Amino acid sequence: MARGKQKEQAREKAQKQAEARAGGKSQLNARAAGLQFKCPVCKTPAANYKIVVQHMEAKHPRDAVPSEESFQA
């Protein structure tokens, strides 16, 4: 039943696109807020604190991860 599978894939694709749209919107909001989150080591901007933490652990494992409060302007 190739047809049914195609339909399913199309539905999955549409759902992913909808999610991407929603995600893009929230990213836009973060940008509008001025992207307060930045890596203190290499200054790479991040959409939120969680991403900074992930980035620090991946790229700068020897550096201390700053507290979330330290990013609030």
How far apart are the C-alpha atoms of 9 and 65, rounded to whole Å?
Answer: 41
- The neighbour count for residue 56, using CB atoms within 10 Å, is 20
Rounded least distance, CB 60 to Zn ion, Å: 5
How far apart are the C-alpha atoms of 39 and 5, rounded to whole Å?
Answer: 43
User: Using CB atoms, what's the residue nearest to Zn ion?
Assistant: 39
Per rule CB under 5 A, is residue 63 in the interface with Zn ion?
no
Rounded least distance, CB 35 to Zn ion, Å: 14
Q: Which amino acid is at 56?
A: M
Q: Which lies closer to Zn ion via its Cβ, residue 35 or residue 42?
A: 42
Per rule CB under 5 A, is residue 59 in the interface with Zn ion?
yes
